[in-house]
Structures are given as structure tokens and as C-alpha cells.
Structure 1
Amino acid sequence: MPNILEVSQLSKTYQSGTKALTVLSDISFSIEPGDKLSIVGSSGSGKTTLLGLCAGLDRASSGSVILNGTKLDSLNEDERARVRNLHVGFVFQNFQLLPTLTALENIMVPMELRGEKGIKDRAMDLLARVGLAERHDHYPTQLSGGEQQRISIARAFSNRPKILFADEPTGNLDEETSVKIESLLFDLNRELGTTLVLVTHDNELAKKTDRVIQLKGGRIISNSLNQALEV
């Protein structure tokens, strides 16, 4: 089976006035469908930048990203957005729910944008899967942090993504809530066959994935199976 994600000699440099800041250098790795991968490293190591390039949110300075058979670096912004809408789900540290919409409406938005039918029933089914069917008419401000993250996970799975990118999904949550969110992510990953790519500072969470890539100074210093880390 072909890899779901192939990253080859990826580099990212930002220009700031006359100075160039290289955030990532010569990053290469691949992920098979259904795998669970963690990307770890200290603040400033390039984790979130790498996640954004893999998901097609930004374009690399050099190198290539092939996502589900599509080479992202040859696409314009609209074309990359189309690939994301079809194949990618996102979970962020700060939830990124729309405050003027209910829990149900937040899940329905991406389905509406794709022009899908029967979206209310599917959104309610997703809410039930994350244990929040009874909170469907609540707004984000009426929900706890853990509940908001469960809503964002339901939204992320609304397009049945081939690959889910999660950037510090438990970063704003207490330990007990974090454990529940981790279980939910892994359960849905297994149930739906979605590939999972996590950026995390949490070594205990990283150990629960199949493989761990460790970044330092924008370079990969370790790419190994279930290895205890010193970050």
C-alpha cells in the first residue's frame, strides 16, 4: 500500500528584512496509512511549521510533500485547500471553534462547505461518538475546555479524513481531561482507519504512538519506534 505521506528533503526559510531564518532543514520521512506518529521537540524546534507544511497550510522553501498521492508543492493555495478538504482533518490546541455557532453547527460547517447532503444527522452522529449529543445546542462559551476539544475532534472527522494532524491537542487541558481526549483520538483513529500525526510536548502521549520523530534546531535527530525521549 502506498504511503499516505511522503516528505523529502524539506526545508523552510523565512525572510526577515535582510536576514534569512531557517526553521526546518532537510527533513525526510514517510508514513504508512493508519500509522500513529508523534513529532516532538523543544519550543522553536520547528514542530508546528513541519505540521503546517505536511498538511499543505504553507509551502516549503525547498523539498517536497506528497499527501495521499498528490504533490503539494506544485499546487496553488486553492488547490491545496481542495486537497485538505478532501483528505485532511485538524485538531488544534486552542480548539478554533466559531463562537457564534452551536456545537452542532460547528461540526456542520465543513460539511456545508463541501456541499454534502444529510449533514445534520451525520453531525449528530459525530457528537454522539464524542459523548456530547446532549450538548448539541450549546455554544463554545457554555462548554468546558475538554468539551470544546471533543467538538473540534468531531469536526475534524467530519470529512472522514485519510490523515488527521493534531497540534498539541491536550496542551490547554488538565491531566484527567487530557487522558480522555487522547483515548478519544486513538479510538477514532483505530475505528475509522485514519492516519494520526501528533505534535506534542508530552512524552507520555508520544510513547502511545507507533513512531516518534524528534526535532532539534529544525532537523530530525531521532526517528524511531516507541522510544523514550529526553526533550
Structure 2
Amino acid sequence: MSLTTSPILEAVGLSKTYPSANQQLQVLQDISFSIQPGETVSVVGPSGSGKTTLLGLCAGLDRASSGYVALNGIRLQDQSEDALAGIRNKYIGFVFQNFQLLPTLTALENVMVPMELKKEKDIRSRALELLDQVGLASRSHHYPSQLSGGEQQRVSIARAFANQPKILFADEPTGNLDAETSEKVESLLFNLNKAAGTTLVMVTHDLELAAKTGRIIKLKGGKLVSDESNREVVTS
């Protein structure tokens, strides 16, 4: 007898249009898929295919024109902005291409922010532990401007795992890094994700990076054109 689990993320008939001059610009059209807990999924496709828009809808950062997203069983379309903020802090971690660190806070303080929002205790020790896991405990009191791009991305990864998210969204996480630094950040991201048992949904134009995930969703012209398991990763 096999046990079934509910999807951690489900997109149903998802479309997104934006007003443009005298017409509507359709960025996404009728996208449907579901992702199970613990999966690693890449979203790939040419520039302008709607990858980042899709990620924003799935994370509750934007609202669909039609269709809906359910995250951990919660329909995001039905939630107020305050409720969406609470859902993101409770269930979601983010890693962005441009790091999105707060420039006036130290590395340690940046990692502490999600935990402060959840009003957790002993957050300093937890933040230091996460910085240590990404190899930056000795740089905890440095500000983002004092860190290299690779170091800033490692801080953002530590911050992403600070609230022990059920799902991690990564938007071009190595897009601003050189090849050597990218490889180190990729390893760190996958190793931390595996250890935490977090679901990973990553937008990337890097097909070598995408090949490291267990599933690849391809968009083209705002439509889902393929959704395939990466057997080498799934079975390894």
C-alpha cells in the first residue's frame, strides 16, 4: 500500500496579463502543474518566456489574472496582502539573483530578519549557526558592501533557510556570479536544501544547473511546453 502526499505547490490554469498601450500583454497562459514536498524543480526557457513572473505568482508576490496557486493547501488568490506576507514568512525562503540584502544591516542581522518577524527566540545563535554553515561566521559583522558577490549570495542562502521554509524559491541564484563562485554557491544551495528536506523551485537560464534538479519545467512564449523528470537525479 503506497502513501500519497498532498502537493506543496499547485498551479491550476494560471494566466497573467498586463495592460500594454491599447492591448493586454499576456505573459503566462493556462499553466498547470503540481510539486510534491522535497522535490527539486527547475523552470527554464528563453528570456521573456514568463519564468520570473511564474515564480512571483507561486510565491504570492503577484496575483494571477486567472487560475490559482495553492501553497501548502492555501489558495493564495483568496488571501489579503497581510495574510500573504505571513504565509511567505511561515512557509517560504527566497534566493535572488541580486541578493536583496538590506545594506544597512550586517550579514548576521540580515540572516536574523526572518526569525525576528516570526518572533522566535535565540535567533542570534541560530543566525550564527547558519552563517557558519555557509562558511561566513568570521564575516558576520560585515555589511553587504564589504562582501564579495559570492559572499553576499551565501548570506542570502543562510537567510533563506532561517525560517526553516517548506519551499525555497530561487530566481537565477548564480546569475551574477563567476563560474568558480557559481559552482560553490550551487553546491551549498543543494546541500543545505537536501539536509533541510526543503522543496526547491528554481528559475535559471543555466541548463547545466537545471540538470542538477530532479525535474525540469520548460516555458516558451508564456506556455508550459514540457515537464519532465530528470531520471539521473531522481534515481541517484
| 2:190 corresponds to which of 180, 186, 189 | 186
Following the alignment from structure 2 to structure 1, what is the Cα–Cα distance between the partners of residues 80 and 162? Answer: 24
Within 5 A, what are the aligned runs for 1:148-227? 148-226=152-230
| Aligned match of 1:56 | 60
Query: Which amino acid in the other structure matches residue 167 of structure 2?
Result: I
Task: Tell whether 2:106 aligns with 1:118.
Answer: no
Query: Which amino acid in the other structure matches residue 182 of structure 2?
Result: S
| Aligned match of 1:83 | 87
Moved over 2 A (4+): none
2:15–2:28 CA contact under 8 A, matched in 1: yes
Query: Which amino acid in the other structure matches residue 191 of structure 1?
Result: A
2:11–2:31 CA contact under 8 A, matched in 1: yes
| Aligned match of 1:69 | 73
Following the alignment from structure 2 to structure 1, what is the Cα–Cα distance between the partners of residues 39 and 231? Answer: 16
Displacement of 1:77 after TM fit?
A: 1.2
| Aligned match of 1:128 | 132
Following the alignment from structure 1 to structure 2, what is the Cα–Cα distance between the partners of residues 107 and 150? Answer: 10
| Aligned match of 1:107 | 111
Following the alignment from structure 1 to structure 2, what is the Cα–Cα distance between the partners of residues 124 and 116? Answer: 15
Within 5 A, what are the aligned runs for 1:19-58? 19-58=23-62
| 1:15 corresponds to which of 19, 26, 32 | 19
> Normalising to structure 1: TM-score of the pair?
0.97
Deviations 1:12-34 (A, max 9, x none): 01113431001000000010100
Q: Secondary structure at the match of 1:100?
A: coil
Deviations 1:173-221 (A, max 9, x none): 0001101111111101110000000000000000000000110000011
Following the alignment from structure 1 to structure 2, what is the Cα–Cα distance between the partners of residues 76 and 21? Answer: 25
In structure 2, list runs of 5 or more residues that go unmatched: none
Query: Which amino acid in the other structure matches residue 15 of structure 2?
Result: S
Percentage of pairs with the same residue: 68
1:212–1:227 CA contact under 8 A, matched in 2: no
Q: Secondary structure at the match of 1:188?
A: helix
2:170–2:202 CA contact under 8 A, matched in 1: yes
Following the alignment from structure 1 to structure 2, what is the Cα–Cα distance between the partners of residues 143 and 227? Answer: 38
Following the alignment from structure 1 to structure 2, what is the Cα–Cα distance between the partners of residues 194 and 34? Answer: 5
Following the alignment from structure 2 to structure 1, what is the Cα–Cα distance between the partners of residues 21 and 178? Answer: 40
Displacement of 1:128 after TM fit?
A: 0.6
Query: Which amino acid in the other structure matches residue 10 of structure 2?
Result: E
2:214–2:231 CA contact under 8 A, matched in 1: no
Query: Which amino acid in the other structure matches residue 183 of structure 2?
Result: V
Following the alignment from structure 2 to structure 1, what is the Cα–Cα distance between the partners of residues 109 and 86? Answer: 21
Task: Tell whether 2:150 aligns with 1:146.
Answer: yes
Query: Which amino acid in the other structure matches residue 61 of structure 1?
Result: S
Q: Secondary structure at the match of 1:89?
A: strand
Query: Which amino acid in the other structure matches residue 211 of structure 1?
Result: R
Query: Which amino acid in the other structure matches residue 29 of structure 1?
Result: F
